[in-house]
Structure 1
């Protein structure tokens, strides 16, 4: 193995030791060449890696393989947003538009059509929000537009720099390592974060410690009970080894929340159009190589409207979409 690992002999959620190996696979996105065994707990159906990357070696994995792509995403987002939001007059106009009836209706329609409902969460005036794993800070502006106070937290210094250069507050480090007082926040967001963490219980316990009584932890994560997981099998894009270490069902996420004094207030599932496009057009590479898009025939991303309509109907009828979005409240 290129990186230090530890073998996980029990389910990270229910501690059952009767895990079953589903298959072994490799990094089909960024080319990390080692093989990893995907386990399924026979009690709570959580899926997890048998060979988990040691926490102290995770930064090395991300810097060598995944980190450059995170930095590229941050730079891309910076280029797309910095000119638009640098001018104070433009910022004021945009925020007013977002609060207007037209802005609210358009944003709601766009989130529904694209399957991106993470920001259907509402935030109060002056609410203190911590965005864990904030990346380039793409959730910041909509939250700030609500009048809430947004702070980002990210392990990658390049992401933190990209966020601070936009005039936003960002803390560099992990939620366990940074020195933050208990009860500092009203809400903590973890958008596509908890699946990357080797000890999700420790992560969620820390989140519960940092929010005030009645505060919220807002999570989005791949749904292990997704219909596309059943259809795609081993080729489901959200196995994403070795970066995704633990994958949840609604039941196992609720179980974990209870262990951390957090009650699941609500959850829903959906399949974002962008995720479906990636699944449909992604070309799985040979081991040790970087993944590519399919190029034969008519690109399927030229037909997003029909795909969006189908996905929204499936989400409504079946309720087993690719992403699990949950709101947990401190008991």
Structure 2
């Protein structure tokens, strides 16, 4: 064990999925977004392609990586356009007609014809259709935005969050929702108690993805679904930004998956995969963050939230549309991997392991 700028670390030289020593991908990286001190490197498995952080922060110091994190931001009241994307389009394409107003439903039917907006709406509800409504657990719920969206769509929502400040915001933002503070494995949730468990930009942060996914499987009723969204290590943004790609996010992202490695990780955890795809709805924002990181300097002001120009925003829209078209043509280059898995009657290994 060593100390890097007061963050304790340990070596992680080999692939978690297949045990092969990693090959160097990027070295001497720093945290341009939130200013956590230290220098960090990424390895890629030459066999399966999994990317991971080496050295990796010790579990005891993980909380220190999030002291200035964006989940501390108070959620803002959604605009009409956001409400249409979160309620109107899902009403049109995913069966949530009873959860949207007449104007939202009518506007949603029109906008659902626009592919990128339809995809964004589907991603906003983690690909969960209305006919699956029941009890939902959002792991790593942050300040509670997703809990609020899904409660408004008729789900009975609760969440877990390791960051006490973010959990407090979620409780205020979603009155009545139960938000547990702590690790998923430690908060004492009931077996087979949920119809859906969601992890949006969470699995890349956890030191032991298999343990987390097995816990998710244990919490699901038979036929219940786990849905994961995570940065795609083979996305178009990686080609555009290289080491400045937002999805690397050292040192908070411990593992960075692509569709194949995420599917392999989920299968190791005993769940049955229903679908795996890449989506582009985050491309606009991740492009702008890539620009911010590119323009930042080592040891300089935090790049998170730094203003960008109108031309940057126009380029970001163009990048999003280019990526959407590539995905539509069958290339798995969306900024995020979206995977849906199910607990079947044979998923006993995930329960008992």
* TM-score normalised by length of structure 1: 0.85
User: How many residues in Structure 1 have an aligned counterpart in Structure 2?
Assistant: 315
In structure 2, runs of 5+ residues without a counterpart are 84-96, 345-353
2:63 aligns with: 59
Contact 2:160 2:180 in 1 (8 A): yes
Q: Does 1:47 align with 2:51?
A: yes
Q: What RMSD over aligned residues (CA atoms) do the two structures have, in Å?
A: 2.9
Residues in 2 aligned to 1:165 and 1:62: alpha-carbon distance in whole angstroms: 20
2:335 aligns with: 322
Residue 48 of structure 1 and its aligned partner are, at CA, apart by 0.2
1:89 aligns with: none
Residues in 1 aligned to 2:102 and 2:129: alpha-carbon distance in whole angstroms: 13
Residues in 2 aligned to 1:226 and 1:172: alpha-carbon distance in whole angstroms: 33
Residue 62 of structure 1 and its aligned partner are, at CA, apart by 1.6
1:309 aligns with: 321
What does residue range 1-331 of structure 1 map to in structure 2 within 5 Å? 1=4, 2-14=6-18, 16-24=19-27, 25-63=29-67, 65-66=68-69, 69-72=70-73, 75=74, 77=75, 79-80=76-77, 95-97=99-101, 101-102=105-106, 104-105=108-109, 108=112, 112-113=116-117, 116=120, 117-118=122-123, 119=125, 120-124=127-131, 127-166=134-173, 167-169=175-177, 170-271=179-280, 272=282, 273-289=284-300, 290-291=302-303, 298-302=310-314, 306-317=318-329, 318-331=331-344
In structure 1, runs of 5+ residues without a counterpart are 86-92
316-325 or 139-148: which moved more?
Answer: 139-148
The SS at the match of 2:185 is: coil
Contact 2:288 2:308 in 1 (8 A): no
Query: CA separation of 1:177/1:293 partners in 2, compared to 1, >3 Å: closer, same or farther?
Result: closer
After superposition, give the CA deviation of every residue in 1:36-78 in whole Å (9 maximum; x if it has no partner). 1100011111000111111121112222x43xx3212xx1x1x
The SS at the match of 1:328 is: strand
